[in-house]
Amino acid sequence: ITTVAIKSIDGPADGAELRDFLQEIKIMSYIKPHPFLVSMIGSCCSDEGDTREMWLIIEYCPHGDLKNYLIENKKQILSGNEQDMINDRCLIYWAYEISKGMEYLAANKIMHGDLAARNVMLDDSPIQPGRLVAKVADFGLSKQLNTGYVYEKQDRVYVPWKWMAFEYLTSDYFTMTSDVWSFGVVLWEIFSCGRTPYGHQDFNDILTLLEDPTYKLPCH
């Protein structure tokens, strides 16, 4: 018996939502299992014609997503001593594990497109009881860039712009290195213990700041 997580579309699958969901299944079925990526176990759909439902079956990570874990366990993380399995050293471990997962995606010419602490899951370590392992998840915006290494935005309106690379915000395109920008924002999230980047500032204010090459997210 294996405990799994199930991702599905809310209601009947159709239109752009169905296309994106199928794209996610396609990307995940292409990726071979990796210790720092949430793996796909399978997918299926109901046989009901136009109103069919679809499900993506993936690894279950019992400790939830990294962002909420950082917020809820900040005190334990920062006060843990060297002998504790959860301490501030874990921040370095999780950053490293995310980077290795992303490195594997890049080696397979896959751009994640939505890297953020909320899309990193925490699982139990298979070799160190009590330690948690970070696994990159949620491939809903991922693209396989086999030719040209550039993806231009087409019709997606709502995007997590606080994590998006500068070239996307200004010119509506991704490259294979765009995820590096997002990884930098994730590092800020990790070492701020789950704070939201840029706070409550709006898109135009942030874009103005980012146009200044000396601007950096403030430390907390």
Residues designated catalytic: 114
Structure token digits, residue 16: 């752009």
Helix orientation angle between 89-107 and 178-191, rounded to the nearest 10 degrees: 170
Query: For the range 203-211, what are the long-range contacts, defined as Cβ-Cβ under 8 Å and sequence gap of 24 or more?
Result: 203/161, 203/169, 206/161, 206/162, 207/169, 207/170, 210/166, 210/169
Please report where in the chains the tokens 């490293």 appear, as a residue: 96
CB 220 within 8 A of CB 187: no
In eight-state DSSP terms, residue 65 is B
CB 108 within 8 A of CB 30: yes
CB 34 within 8 A of CB 110: no
Please report where in the chains the tokens 């010119």 appear, as a residue: 171
- Report in angstroms the alpha-carbon separations of 29 from 70, 159, 166, 200, 205: 30, 24, 30, 37, 39
